[in-house]
Structures are given as C-alpha cells and as structure tokens.
Structure 1
C-alpha cells in the first residue's frame, strides 16, 4: 500500500506547553501519517514563534491577527504582518469575525478586511475563523475576493455551504465531527463538495483528550492508515475516520483526497518536496 499522507489544515504548535519538544510532537505526527501541518499565529506576540517553527520539516506558517487578540495589536501591526509574510513562504491566518467576543464587530471587520487585502496583494492563502457572523463574512469575502481561503473548524449551517463554496471556500473540520450531539455539523460535512474538504486538529495540547482518543498503532507507521483503538492518540486520524463514516468513504481514500485538495489550496506555496 502506498504511504499515507495526511494534511493538518490548522494547528497552533507554538502554544504547546514549554516542556513539550515540538520536534518530538512533529515526529509523532509524521509517524501517524501527517506530513504537513499549517501552524497559525494569532497576534504579533506569537508570530516570531511561528516563524521559528517554520524552519522545521512539515510545518508551514500562517501569520495573522485573530479577532480575540485585537486589543494586543499596537500601531504598525499591519506593516509588521506584511514583514513576516515576506520572511518566509506563508499564509495569512488566523483571522476573521467572532460575535462572542467584546471587540466591536465593525472594528473586527476593518481589521479582517485589511488582512484579506494584504493576502490578495501578496497572493497568499487565508485561514478564517468565524463564529455567529456567517452572512456578514460571506458579504466581505464576496467583496474582497481573497485568492484562496479556508473556513477553519467550520461551524456554519449546512445551508451556508453552497453560498460559501461558490465564493471559493475550502471547509476544514475538526474533532467536533465525533460529538454525537453535533448532527448539524455532520450534515454540513455531507454538503461540502469533496474537492473543497480539509481536516484539522486545532490542537495546541499534545496531551488533550482529543489527541489521546486517536490512533497511531501500526507496526509500520505511515504505510497503512493507522489502526483504530490504539492507546497512542492522534486526533487527525480519528477526525478523518469519523468523516469517512459519514461520507461512506474509506479513511485512506479521504485522507489522500484531502492531501490533493491541500496542494490546490496552497498552490505554488505547497512545499515542493511533498508534491505528488
């Protein structure tokens, strides 16, 4: 069987506990089949950490100002963001809109648009966070037309999928698919065009319950899709298993499909040594 290649569409590797060696985490991920992870910054205070991690094999950096951290941004943050984006092949993220935080939504929109415009000018892919602002988000995306964008940890209604897909969206899903109470999320998954589908860990804690609930257990790691019910956890494997069950696909086929989607999403920025 061909080597399994999995793509983690959204992670915050820079936020792992200080005593955790990111290299060991990456090696464990690689043994589970994960060959590329998108590490997302959230504010100017963590962009340098993300840039440092980008020197490691299998890590691709995204830099952005998240709506939760707008108050941390000082004057000149946008120019600084542009500088980081030019220091390495990279994307823009995590950015977006969130109605559940105290920051005024108009201010969020202003900052979101500025980053979308920067991404468009530099031809960079975008990773987007959205909570309870889907119609407003769709309107902004239609006007700004970023070159490539994913909706990370998609949580919108199934009915929004078609509208967003027509704007060019990729949709990334995480371990929420394994929650038996989230039937609407699985319905949304089944509405997404297969060529726009991605999966993610959205993890910054290597010892999280989600990570422990996954699987790595193959005697020949990375050759066959990791076996279920192993004590060694890796959440991306289980996210893909849950999605495969809902979509009546094999996990192997779905993993390979999303790898090809990742190549298209990232375009010329996809690492050459990993291209099919």
Structure 2
C-alpha cells in the first residue's frame, strides 16, 4: 500500500475516533476550557498528529494513548460533580478583580494580570470606566464577569413599570421559497394564513428567500430580489390607532349626549378603554 494512502486511512480513522470521544466528553469540553482541559486538548492534538503521519509507529498504541487521555478527564469530570474540593483543584476558582469601583491590586498580582489587560477585558464589554463597575470576577475559564453599578445599568421594561408579552422563538416558516410546515405549525399558523399574508405584502412564494413569524405572529420576509421593498407589518399600529379612535368617540359621545345615564356609561367605558390602551400601548407601538 502506498505510504500516502496509509497516512490518509490513519488520519481518517483518528478523526472519527476523536469525534466520537469528543461527543462522549460533551459540549463543556468545547465551550469552557479549564487549565486541565487545555493541557488535555494540546496533548490529544499532538497524539492525533503523530499516529496519523508516523507510519512506522504502531497505530493501535496511539489509539490506546488517546483513549487514556480521554477517559481520565471523563472520570475526573464525574468525580468533580460530587466533590467541590476536586472541582476547585482541577478547575480553579474565580477571583474578584474589582469591588465597589476599586481595583484589587493584590488579586491582579495573584492572577499575573496587568492593569492594561484588565482594561482591555472591560472594553470588550463596552465598559470604559472602572468607577462604573460594582463587581468584577475573573472566572476559572479566563472570562471576566462584570456587574455595573445600579445607576449605570441599562433601563429595562421592569424599571419603567411596563409589562411585555413572553417572548417566543421566531419560526422560519419559509426557506428558499419552500414552506416549512413544522415551524409553521409551531407558530400556530397554517398554509392558508401564510398565503394570505404573502398576498398582503404583494410577493410570491418563489421570490421569498426567508420568511419568519415573530413572537406577535407577524410575517417578515427577505426576498431574492433586494430591489423590491416589502412593507413593514402594520397590524399592531393599526389596532392601536383603532383603539384610540374608539376612546375619542366615547369621549365625544359623553360630551354630546343629553341623556345622563348614557353620559355616565360612555364616560365609564372611556376610562376602561384608556386603562386598556395604557397596558398594551408599548406592545402595539413596537
């Protein structure tokens, strides 16, 4: 057998073997590398390269070595799930770098961190003043977790006393001009509704590259023909305008009627409708 073919076969076999072992080890090994896992990754890469290209060496000896280097971290991961001491030993622990807007220089020295490196980490999170930080923790993975002071945190609907609907995943109901029945059903819609919405937008299915249904059940599309302008969904703004018109009509009726009982009824309905509009105003205006 030619030497190049031997290398191809060994490399493909090693690739499949490593893929299977990586699936067994789980996603954590990919997303968060601790010091120990970093060493494991480097060693596995070196072993995989050696057994793929060194045709004189015993292939199965290399496979056994890779198996050992994968089974040991798997066993340690199981043990660390049950022991916090082992978890700290192998994965390390976080260290506070900033507290109450002040840098803890001693902790920086322990982590061999410079002020420039700390500022760089803060800038990646769009933070440019240390004084704005309430708390910053260097995680075992090397990432910096930051909590801003209350006055520097962004406003949320909760701060403004607004109630929003629970967000649902956006469903891709059309891809490459083809209707995706499962996402369409998950969005609580049917083919008839989809066709009606496309007609409202004035587009045909064949021209739709991507169609999505958002949390509010509205269809948005991206067309193959980028020169065509697709109107924005207008159902919610139209509903808000209708509610406001009804509110104004009720107030007008209460002012123009001569019947006291009818006047009181119109005023009560107007007040109730005003409260309802206030509750849904933010949702319908978005």
Q: Which has the higher helix share?
A: 2
Structure with the bigger RCO (C-alpha within 8 Å, sep 6+) is 1
TM-score above 0.5, yes or no: no
